[in-house]
Each structure stands twice: as C-alpha cells, then as structure tokens.
Structure 1
Amino acid sequence: MEVHQRLMWARLNVGRYKTASDAARAMGVPIPTYAGHENGSRGLTRATAERYAAFFKVAPEWMVFGRGAPRPGVAPPSEDREPKTIPDIPFADEPATNVSGPVALPRAGVGRLPIRGRAAGGPNGKLVMTADAVGWARMPASLQDVPEAYGVFVHGDSMLDRYESGEFLHVNPVRPVRRGDYVVAQIREQDGFAGYVKRFVSRSATELVLEQLNPPEGEDRLMRFPADRVVAVHKVVGTGEP
C-alpha cells in the first residue's frame, strides 16, 4: 500500500469526511492539491504526509512509511498492492467507425464516481490509465444512471483556456462523440495505456486526430494516433469538485 492509499484509508476511517473535497475544505487545503495527493497524481512530501497524519489522527510513521499500526489497537489495512494497470484486464476490440466503443472500466457505485489515471509527467498532460479506480469522487446527478462513468484530473497546461491543471472532469463513455467535443482518448503504448484529455477532431480507419489548445513548445497543435493504437475515445460531459 502506497502513501496515497494510506491517506485515503485514513480519511475514510476517521468517519467524518465522505469525499476528498470535504477533507480538503476542513484542512483549508486547495481541493485539487489534496485530491491529487489522495489519488496519487501529486507527490507528497514527508512534512505534508505528517500534517495529514495529525489531522486524521493516525501514526506519522504509518502514514509516511507504512510501518506499524495506524492507531494503537487498530490493525493496518490488509490490502498491500498497487492498483492494477489496464493490461491486466482484457479490452473488447473497437471498430474504427465506433468513436466511443467498449472498454474495461471500474464500475461506479451508488453516489461514487471512480477516478482513473495517474499523471505521467511531461508537458502534454499524458495520463497513465488504470483499470482499477485510483480514488473516488462524488457522483454528479447527470451520471447517476451511467455505471461506466468515471472522472479524471487534468494535468499540465496543454488545454488552456478550456481546462486548467488540477481541474476534475466527468466522463461518459456511452455518449456519442462529435467533432469539437472534449474527450479522454485512451491510446495503446509499448509499456501500457495512456490517456489524453484533448478536443476531438476526427477519426478514420487509419488515424485519430486530436487538438490541444495550448501545445507545449515544439509540439504541433494536432496530435495524430494510428487507428490500431486507439482503444477508446470517451466524451467529457462536465466538470466539478471531486
């Protein structure tokens, strides 16, 4: 179990804060900052982890290093693994003409929206996509009846002026995608699966074309991916607090 997973456990175990946003408000921490610490997309310093440990009343040694028990007389969580990556779960083949085809997703629970993807670094906002949820957010009313729905955090500035880094997006995989829509594109790579939050331009039997509004220096505004590497293209339907 990594430090961000222990942080989520501590929040849920204390019993007062149903969401990451609730805890962030109570501590006076910016919501994107705390949510990033809890879902693993932002690094945690030891001092910050110890501050969280004090707030959630768990042992600093357990929060920072996973040593000992979170509290006297409380057994540590038994789960001790990283979230599985997408290659562990088979994907259905997606026809080139189907923009929002089937893909293995964590199932949303009642009132809970799974958060997917970890920041991969780099200026273009690339995500490392995960099949398991890396965290949970409040389910928006518009997605209550969409069990495949999920959320992602924006990383980097490649989509300014539409989305800022740290903004939380709601994704509906069953909605059709049209030119000009904002999407999460899942792309097969040599070492796993990547996700990109971009604007949809076109998709053909040979390639997917996406647009980044604020391309990093040295990169083109348009991103092109061969069709055989495209796993899915899912529509962004809103933003909100996690």
Structure 2
Amino acid sequence: MKINSIKSTLAQRIKSRLDKLGKSERRASLEAGLSDSFLRNIRQNKSSSPRIDTLEKIAEVLETNPAWLMTGAGEEELSLPAANILPEPAPRYFPPAEPAAVSAIYAERQPPENNRDLPILKPGARRMHRQKSPRIVTLPGLQPGYDGFHESDGPSPPISPSPYPSYDLFQGEEAATEHIPNALIGKKFSLNERRLPVYGQAVGGIDGEFPINGSTLYSVLCPPQLSEISGAYAVSISGDSMYPRYEDGEIAFVDPTRRVKKGDYVIAQIATDETEIPLAYVKKFICHNAGGLVLEQFNPAKELHFPHERVVSVHYIALAGTAPV
C-alpha cells in the first residue's frame, strides 16, 4: 500500500506540472529522452520505481525542483536569479535653436593613401567620436542632435559625458575601423532522404529473440545521427523483455561501427547451429571476452550467457522510438 501511495503522489505531481505547462504526457516523455509512453505508464502504475537520474530528466522538462518532484518537499517552482538590468539614463531637455544658425564644417575630401573614404579635417577642427548607441549633443547655435559646429562659435566646447559606450572612428591619420560581420553563412543544408531496413518478426521468443535472415519487414527514414554511418539498420522490438527501456513494437536504430562498452544497449546475433539462422537479442551489454558474452535482461530479470564461439556480432543501439514509415 505504501508503494502504491508513493506512485500515486508522484503521478499527481507530474500531472500538476503538465497542466501548468500545457504539455502532454507523450511530449514531455520524448523531451526527456524517454519512450513516448513513460509518463503514461507512471500514471497507470505500470512502471516500476523510476531511477533518480530519470526523475531529474523529467524535472528538467517539467521546469520544477527535482526534490519536490521526487518527495513533494521543498519549492515547486525553480528560483531564477534576478536579471542585472542597468537603469536607463534620465531624459535631457534641449532648448530649440534657430535653423538659420545651423552650419557645419566639412573637410575637403581627398583620397588618402590607404582608404579613399576617410575625411581630412581642416586645421583647428576637432575629431569627433561616433557612437554605437544614439546620442544627442547640444552645442551653441546647433539644433539638438546635429553633429557639427558653427564657425562663428569659436573653439568647440567640451562634449558632456555620455552613458553609452563609444569608439574612436580614427586610429590614426589614415586608419579606419574595420567592419566585422556578426554572423557567418554555413554550408547548405541538405534534406536526408536515406532509408534504413527494419528487421524482426511479429512475435519474439521466450527472451524476445528473433531470427535475422536478411529479409526486411519494411523501411523507415534514417535519423540524422546515422545518416553518414555505413551499414546502419533498424530492428523491431518484440515482446517486453526489456521494458521499461524498450516497449513492444518500438524501432531500435543500430550503429554497427561504434565500439560497445558496459552498460550500453546492444543487439547481439547468436548462432544456435551451423546450419540455422542466427538469433538476435536486444539486451543490455555486460561483458564480452574469451569466456563468452554476458547480457542483462529486465523481464524476467536475469543474465544471459553465450559461448564466445557462437557470437556472430554485437552492435550498438544508438536510439529507439517510433519512426515515420
């Protein structure tokens, strides 16, 4: 009774977060990298107690505190640090100026040696600073925002400090700032149209095994992860011997080139007799050495041992789920 109560409470917390975020059980399961029916199985009390790392993935997708999701204790909502927002500068008042009093000193444009677009200032004129952000400067005889000086005003007054960052347009008499692009155009994206053969059969054996005789059930679109992998293929899961990792009818996509290690999920082909077709097992990899191959099964929980000389191949399962035909 205690276990069922815990599961029910966990299911209620998951449903509460799904309702607040407007997500479905299937969408949240896939975003967490799980099978599309994982959260549904928790709600229906079909799944065994999820692992802590699995609950942490679910908490991240549900945007909630992992401790609250697991136990109901603590804060439900994640606390976010306050944004560091700089206050905007106070508005400044600029009195109007007579339009007739506005004029500017422009230098005669001559082609410098290194850049033909740089202006040469007249003797006595000040170098100006261009602003990255808009800036309004009021000088005697000028309209607000005019970037120049009146000849009759004498030496130019100092410019008031600006709250915005600035950079010098000139780094020397004949140097100019270089325009740096803020993005690069990547290579053209090509749509992947490769298809993979799907092997298997409708009903598996006692341990979910099935023969692979080279005939395909159908083909599916290749996932992007395997689009450039030579020899990649897919198998249809039969039975629930690996539930909840894999469900009956799921498609497992296989990378035959990747080296497997302990804890990986694999498809192993085992020869039963020299004249018979090898049987394929979708299991969790434990070890493979001269003593033989050891695989782990979930339902019923046990280890499967095969002699080394009967092992035809052990291939890595890259991902699994439903796939468009």
**Alignment match, 2:231:** 148
- The answer to whether the aligner puts 1:237 opposite 2:318 as a matched pair is yes
**Alignment match, 2:279:** 194
Structure 2 counterparts to residues 107-122 of structure 1, below 5 A: 110-119=193-202, 121-122=204-205
Q: Secondary structure at the match of 1:202?
A: strand
Structure 2 spans left out of the alignment, 5+ residues: 1-191
Query: When the two structures are aligned, how many residues end up with a matched partner?
Result: 130
Provide the C-alpha distance between the structure 2 equivalents of 1:230 and 1:120, rounded to a whole number of angstroms: 23
Contact 1:159 1:214 in 2 (8 A): yes
Tell me by how many angstroms 1:155 deviates.
0.8
Tell me by how many angstroms 1:120 deviates.
5.5
Higher alpha-carbon Rg: 2
**Alignment match, 2:221:** 138
**Alignment match, 2:292:** 207
Tell me by how many angstroms 1:210 deviates.
0.2
Amino acid at match of 2:317: V
Structure 1 spans left out of the alignment, 5+ residues: 1-108
**Alignment match, 2:11:** none
Provide the C-alpha distance between the structure 2 equivalents of 1:160 and 1:143, rounded to a whole number of angstroms: 24
Amino acid at match of 2:260: V
Tell me by how many angstroms 1:111 deviates.
1.4
Contact 1:120 1:128 in 2 (8 A): no
Q: 2:305 aligns with which of 199, 219, 224?
A: 224
Relative contact order (C-alpha < 8 Å, sep 6+): which is higher? 1
- The answer to whether the aligner puts 1:180 opposite 2:263 as a matched pair is yes
Amino acid at match of 2:280: G
Provide the C-alpha distance between the structure 1 equivalents of 2:214 and 2:230, rounded to a whole number of angstroms: 14
Provide the C-alpha distance between the structure 1 equivalents of 2:309 and 2:193, rounded to a whole number of angstroms: 35
Q: Deviations over 1:101-135 (max 9, x none)?
A: xxxxxxxx951011123255333111111224332
Provide the C-alpha distance between the structure 2 equivalents of 1:121 and 1:208, rounded to a whole number of angstroms: 21
Q: Deviations over 1:178-222 (max 9, x none)?
A: 00000000011122110000000000112000000112xxxx600
Structure 2 counterparts to residues 1-242 of structure 1, below 5 A: 110-119=193-202, 121-190=204-273, 191-215=276-300, 221-242=302-323
Moved over 4 A (4+): none
**Which structure has more strand as a fraction of its residues?**
1
Provide the C-alpha distance between the structure 1 equivalents of 2:267 and 2:260, rounded to a whole number of angstroms: 11
Contact 1:123 1:157 in 2 (8 A): no
Q: Aligned-residue CA RMSD in angstroms? A: 1.7
Q: Secondary structure at the match of 2:229?
A: coil
Provide the C-alpha distance between the structure 2 equivalents of 1:208 and 1:112, rounded to a whole number of angstroms: 31
Q: Secondary structure at the match of 1:189?
A: coil
Amino acid at match of 1:180: G
What's the TM-score once normalised by structure 1's chain length? 0.51
Provide the C-alpha distance between the structure 2 equivalents of 1:210 and 1:232, rounded to a whole number of angstroms: 13
Provide the C-alpha distance between the structure 2 equivalents of 1:165 and 1:240, rounded to a whole number of angstroms: 10
Amino acid at match of 1:161: P
Contact 2:258 2:315 in 1 (8 A): yes
